[in-house]
């Protein structure tokens, strides 16, 4: 049987031929690719010549390409378009990849060659990027067990295999629990308070399941407006607890998985000579140590908590003044916050949605990116998609040279995990003088069109789209020789800078005028609404900051911990770890850790603080744009040439200084947030 995953893609731009790839192709293709990858490594080891940068480090950079390509396609599908068969294959495929990775990293002969090059690095005349690749390659081995005894290497292999399986199971349980819940309503009175758009969306969901009435599910476009607008408090409570208790009950309970993951991560760290998992992770981050992260988070907590408590008291007083409950619960948060915003600013978030038709926002993102970075976007229909909802684009420079292929997948469905993320199917690199351009994708879960309206985004969804597109620009505009240093292959507390800084354009009239037009009348968003966006941008900022710090401190509590084997109950541990950041009463039926995919399924363990860390950088960076003009070509070029195009080819602190001329200061963030 010919396997398309093992063939050279005879497709436009070498894009993935999704239409001819079947589930049964993945496992045999990966096994064959692993054989090829191992043979490539053997050739490097058996080379009789003295180890050099070219015949060892650079040669390793080009080995295992087929393994990377196949696994990238597979795990992207497992996130965006999964099914029972793909999840079953993942359970077989993941351990094979873990074993393959460890076979390379724990190969003593290969490490001898890498180590030889590293020890003689000054004799090879390496440039900055080559030196960066050498450092990354050496640490990839030395930090991950290359120096261990054979017995300890076996222990490491067992731990890594277990962790890969547990992470998969964690994600499958969260997705299953998200898909399993539905609130089926047949009495129109239960929809009181909901805007018509939310009612229409609930009807579409019910119709898709061949049911009468309306269905609220746990996808963000459904659950968020229900908790924000539904007047029936008991139903809000039910939906809120359903969302907050995903994977915290029954046979899909992730509690034991969480405990096992943190124990294994701690064992792994100790085996490798580190005090905690956080120490291991943060050694290769801008923050460098758990102490730095803890100081950073607690300093922000000290500044944000008084503001948050003041906001919470004001919200409680307001709720009581309009016959609300004596004591606010978590299911009251969005509801009364939205009412207070309306009272204080004469502003309803729903007023914005008609100005943010999805297609217009996409065009706006393209126009803004074009003005800043001299690129053009053209929707094309001649490349394969993995789902009919996916949109595909060709990105070119002003001379029509290919910059990137871009995939965009916007709407929720059962086979897709929640949230929003950027990924790629092919990273940028330069091989034999040819600059191979990347294939980048963003995946979101936005409000779907209804029978009467197109997809109209909330302002939060608009900022999410800009955020993920900022990541996409980091991938698209890369100009780095080596794939492992290109695009978003940077320190995780730096990777959020391009995404978060791009959100800032959503708040600026000069940018909004380009795309925020009423979907019926074509009228540009009025000045008074833009003013309301700005006025409300810091509304409840103390409470919002506290929420982010809650997640960051919870992440560190799990991973900067030498006594993970003593933790017995996930819910109780979470309560103790986050009580200083909690304003609403504790509810023992809910738990965020068991659905905290960022740290237990994604790559953010010991790294959730990165969002706040990068906010410092983004506030400081955008202040620079504001000083010169948000479309100032000089500043945009500095950002493109020193941040977006450089990937991880230099240390991020050095790249930032080259862009800004100085280090970032936390004051820019505190000032923007209204906390000073």
Res. 1 pLDDT band, cuts 50 70 90: low
What's the CATH code, domain 4-147? 1.20.1050.40
Could you tell me what percent of the chain has a pLDDT over 70? 100
**Closest-CA residue to 193 (of 162, 156, 243, 228):** 228
Q: What is the dihedral of CA 545, 546, 551, 556, to 10 degrees?
A: 100
The C-alpha atoms of residue 618 and residue 499 are separated, in whole angstroms, by: 9
Please tell me the chain's helix, strand, coil percentages from 3-state DSSP, rounded to the nearest 5. 60, 5, 35
The answer to whether residue 676 scores a pLDDT higher than 80 is: no
pLDDT-derived band of residue 215, with 50, 70 and 90 as boundaries?
very high
Residue 615 has pLDDT above 80, yes or no: yes
Do the domains at 254-335+538-676 and 354-537 have one common CATH topology? yes
Residue (of 505, 518, 428, 511) closest to 472 by Cα position:
428
Residue 463 has pLDDT above 90, yes or no: yes
The predicted structure's pLDDT at residue 665 = 84
- Per-residue model confidence (pLDDT) at position 671: 82
The per-residue pLDDT for 112 is: 97
User: Residue 114: what pLDDT?
Assistant: 98
The count of other CB atoms within 10 Å of the CB of residue 399 is 6
Q: Work out the number of other CB atoms within 10 angstroms of the CB of residue 50.
A: 11
* 170-187 confidence digits (pLDDT tens): 999 999 999 999 999 999
> Minimal CA–CA distance to 387: which of 28, 661, 66, 77?
77
Sign of CA dihedral 508, 511, 513, 519: negative
User: Residues 272-319: pLDDT tens digits?
Assistant: 999 999 999 999 999 999 999 999 999 999 999 999 999 999 999 999
For 354-537, give the CATH class: mainly alpha
The contacts of residue 568 (CB under 8 Å, 6+ apart) are: 259
pLDDT tens, 13-24?
A: 999 999 999 999
- Enter the DSSP assignment of 483: G
pLDDT digits (tens, 9 = 90+) for 154-169: 999 999 999 999 999 9
Parse the chain into domains and list their residue ranges: 4-147, 181-245, 254-335+538-676, 354-537
Is residue 468 among the annotated active site residues? Answer: yes
Average pLDDT over residues 386-407: 98
pLDDT score, position 482: 98
What tokens does 489 get?
Answer: 């292959």
- The answer to whether 81 and 387 have CB atoms below 8 angstroms apart is yes
Q: What is the pLDDT of residue 673?
A: 81
Q: 320: which 2 tokens?
A: 């009581």
| Mean pLDDT of the residues in the chain | 96
Report the pLDDT value the prediction gives residue 670, as an integer from 0 to 100: 82
Q: Which fold has domain 254-335+538-676?
A: 1.10.1370
DSSP three-state, residue 421? strand
Across 115-125, average pLDDT: 97
The DSSP call for residue 285 is: S
C-beta pairs of 629-636 under 8 Å, 24+ apart in sequence: 630/504, 630/505, 630/508, 630/510, 630/511, 631/371, 631/372, 631/510, 636/372, 636/373
For the stretch 540-590, pLDDT in tens is 999 999 999 999 999 999 999 999 999 999 999 999 999 999 999 999 999
Residue partners of 563: CB distance under 8 A and separation at least 6 = none
**Cβ pair 275, 647 in contact under 8 A:** no
Q: Which of 468, 496, 508, 574 is catalytic?
A: 468
């Amino acid at each position: 049987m010919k396997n398309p995953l093992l063939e050279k893609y005879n497709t436009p731009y070498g894009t993935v031929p999704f239409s001819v790839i079947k589930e049964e192709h993945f496992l045999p293709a990966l096994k064959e690719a692993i054989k090829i990858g191992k043979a490539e490594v053997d050739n490097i080891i058996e080379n009789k010549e003295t180890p050099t940068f070219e015949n060892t480090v650079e040669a390793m950079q080009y080995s295992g390409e087929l393994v990377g390509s196949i696994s990238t396609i597979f795990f992207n599908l497992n996130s965006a378009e999964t099914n029972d068969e793909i999840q079953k294959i993942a359970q077989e495929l993941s351990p094979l990849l873990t074993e393959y990775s460890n076979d390379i990293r724990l190969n003593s002969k290969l490490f001898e060659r890498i180590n030889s090059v590293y020890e003689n690095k000054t004799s090879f005349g390496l440039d900055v990027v080559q030196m960066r690749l050498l450092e990354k390659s050496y640490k990839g081995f030395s930090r991950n067990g290359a120096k261990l005894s054979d017995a300890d290497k076996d222990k490491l292999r067992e731990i890594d295999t277990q962790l890969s399986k547990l992470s998969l199971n964690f994600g499958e349980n969260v997705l299953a629990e998200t898909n399993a819940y539905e609130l089926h309503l047949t009495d129109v009175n239960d929809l009181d308070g909901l805007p018509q758009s939310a009612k229409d969306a609930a009807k579409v969901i019910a119709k898709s399941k061949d049911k009468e009435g309306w269905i609220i599910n746990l996808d963000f476009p459904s659950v968020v407006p229900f908790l924000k607008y539904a007047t029936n408090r008991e139903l809000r409570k039910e939906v809120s607890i359903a969302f907050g208790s995903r994977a915290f009950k029954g046979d899909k309970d992730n509690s034991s998985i969480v405990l096992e993951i943190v124990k294994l991560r701690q064992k792994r760290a100790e085996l490798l000579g580190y005090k905690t998992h956080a120490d291991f992770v943060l050694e290769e981050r801008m923050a460098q140590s758990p102490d730095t992260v803890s100081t950073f988070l607690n300093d922000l907590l000290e500044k944000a908590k008084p503001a948050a408590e003041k906001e919470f008291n004001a919200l409680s007083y307001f709720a009581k003044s309009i016959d609300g409950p004596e004591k606010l619960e978590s299911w009251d948060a969005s509801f009364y916050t939205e009412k207070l915003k309306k009272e204080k600013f004469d502003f309803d978030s729903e007023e914005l949605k008609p100005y943010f038709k999805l297609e217009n926002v996409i065009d706006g993102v393209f126009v803004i990116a074009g003005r800043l970075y001299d690129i053009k976007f053209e929707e094309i229909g001649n490349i394969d998609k993995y789902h009919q909802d996916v949109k595909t684009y060709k990105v070119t420079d002003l001379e029509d040279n290919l910059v990137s292929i871009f995939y965009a997948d916007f709407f929720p469905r059962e086979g897709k995990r929640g949230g929003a993320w950027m990924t790629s199917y092919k990273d940028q690199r330069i091989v034999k003088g040819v600059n191979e351009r990347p294939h980048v994708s963003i995946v979101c879960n936005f409000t779907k069109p209804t029978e009467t309206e197109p997809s109209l985004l909330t302002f939060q969804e608009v900022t999410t789209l800009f955020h993920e597109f900022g990541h996409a620009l980091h991938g698209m505009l890369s100009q780095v020789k080596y794939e492992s240093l290109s695009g978003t292959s940077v320190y995780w507390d730096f990777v959020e800078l391009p995404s978060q800084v791009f959100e800032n354009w959503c708040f600026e009239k000069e940018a909004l005028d380009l795309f925020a037009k009423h979907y019926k009348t074509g009228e540009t968003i009025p000045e008074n609404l833009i003013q309301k966006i700005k006025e409300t941008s810091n509304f409840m900022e103390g409470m919002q900051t506290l929420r982010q710090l809650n997640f960051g401190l919870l992440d560190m509590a799990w991973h900067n911990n030498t006594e993970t084997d003593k933790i017995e109950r996930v819910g109780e541990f979470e309560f103790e770890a986050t009580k200083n950041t909690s304003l609403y009463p504790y509810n023992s039926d809910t738990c965020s850790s068991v659905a905290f995919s960022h740290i237990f399924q994604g790559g953010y363990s010991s790294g959730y603080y990165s969002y706040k860390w990068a906010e410092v950088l983004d506030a400081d960076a955008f202040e620079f744009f504001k000083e010169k003009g948000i479309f100032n070509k000089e500043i945009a070029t500095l950002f493109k040439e020193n941040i977006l195009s450089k990937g991880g080819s230099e240390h991020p602190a050095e790249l930032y200084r080259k862009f800004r001329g100085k280090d970032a200061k936390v004051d820019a963030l505190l000032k923007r947030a209204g906390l000073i």
